[in-house]
Amino acid sequence: MTHRLNILCALWLLATAALPARAAAPLVLYTDFGLGDGAVSAMKGVAYGVSQSLLISDLSHQDPGSLFAGAYRLYQVENYWPAGTVFVTVIDPGVGTDRLSVVLQTKTGHYFVAPNNGLLTLVAERDGIQALRQVDESVNRLPGSEESYTFHGRDVFGYTGARLAAGVISFEQVGPLLPPETLISIPYRHPAQQDGRLTGIVPVLDIAYGNVWTNIPKTLFDQLGVPYGNPVRLTFFRNGRRVHSVTAPYQRTFGDVPVGRPVVYINSLLCVALALNQGNYAAAHRIGSGVDWTVEIAKP
């Protein structure tokens, strides 16, 4: 009887060892590859090769326009995902150079596998750095890809992120610890109040509708004491040169003004934004976004 139990236990161990790794966390992919070729599919194939039980989601695969815009998109979505989620972020103009491949663990318990080029500026700033590790490519690299230098999204980031999400490796097995100050940050103007006016930047545009988003939070805007329905003056600058100015009512939503009229509102990230009801404000007034686009807000 004991011999039979030993045989059954041995068979069970062999069977469970052959099972694919179980997914421990969602895996979110964010690249600038587009969907016109097989790059994104190759990344997903590598991930499913690690574990077919992975839950893979796409943040975006469009070119965000700049590293800072890419950083803002991560900032926009990250805190809606549960702790433990692994974000693989591949906007990497320095691929193949000596820039570091890193994994950031934030104090909220999220993981970001990315090039160390500024993409993690905003999530690190908001959520704090719990730990930062360099990817050890001697262990965490797709086998057989050693002679490939221009597709780290597949060979390093995607492979490492999948192994981390699936629980094949722990965070400690990613590679050696790095000092937090190793993480590169993109400098930008933080929101501020001075002499009755607010200043900030236009981090991104609402791509689908052309609404102009600012990084000025509602908590700061509320200090101006502007009731709903009252006018607000917004002035936009690019590299310090005045580009456009408008006075528009502060309202809850777009339909609170006539079609074709501007409105100041609080967007989904609880920051001040400017829109044209059923129109594209950014296109109509040639407003862009990025760290060189600044904004001033005041009572008229």
60-97: pLDDT as tens digits? 999 998 999 999 999 999 999 999 999 999 998 888 78
Say what the pLDDT of residue 17 is: 44
Beta strands in 40-195 (DSSP E): 56-60, 86-90, 101-106, 111-115, 129-134, 177-178, 192-194
Token pair, residue 170, equals 């722990």
| Other beta carbons within 10 Å of 124 | 23
**Which is nearest to 261 in space by CA: 243, 244, 279?**
279
Q: Is 37 within 8 Å of 66 (Cβ atoms)?
A: no
For residues 174 and 182, what is the distance between their CA atoms, to the nearest angstrom? 16
- Could you say which of 3.10.450.50, 3.40.50.300, 2.60.120.10, 2.40.30.90 is the CATH number of the domain covering 192-298? 2.40.30.90
- Class of the CATH domain delimited by 10-182: alpha beta
Query: Low-confidence residues of the chain, pLDDT below 50?
Result: 1, 5, 7-23
Q: For residue 185, give the DSSP letter.
A: -
* Contacts by residues 258-261 (CB-CB < 8 Å, ≥ 24 positions apart): none
For residues 243 and 236, what is the distance between their CA atoms, to the nearest angstrom? 6
For residues 72 and 186, what is the distance between their CA atoms, to the nearest angstrom? 11
Say what the pLDDT of residue 4 is: 52
φ/ψ of 241, rounded to 5, equals -100, 130
φ/ψ of 61, rounded to 5, equals -130, 25
For residues 123 and 62, what is the distance between their CA atoms, to the nearest angstrom? 20
| Residue whose entry in the numeric block shows the structure tokens 């599919």 | 41
3-state SS, residue 265: strand
Q: For residue 82, give the DSSP letter.
A: P
Please report, for the chain, the start and end positions of each structural domain, with discontinuous segments joined by +: 10-182, 192-298
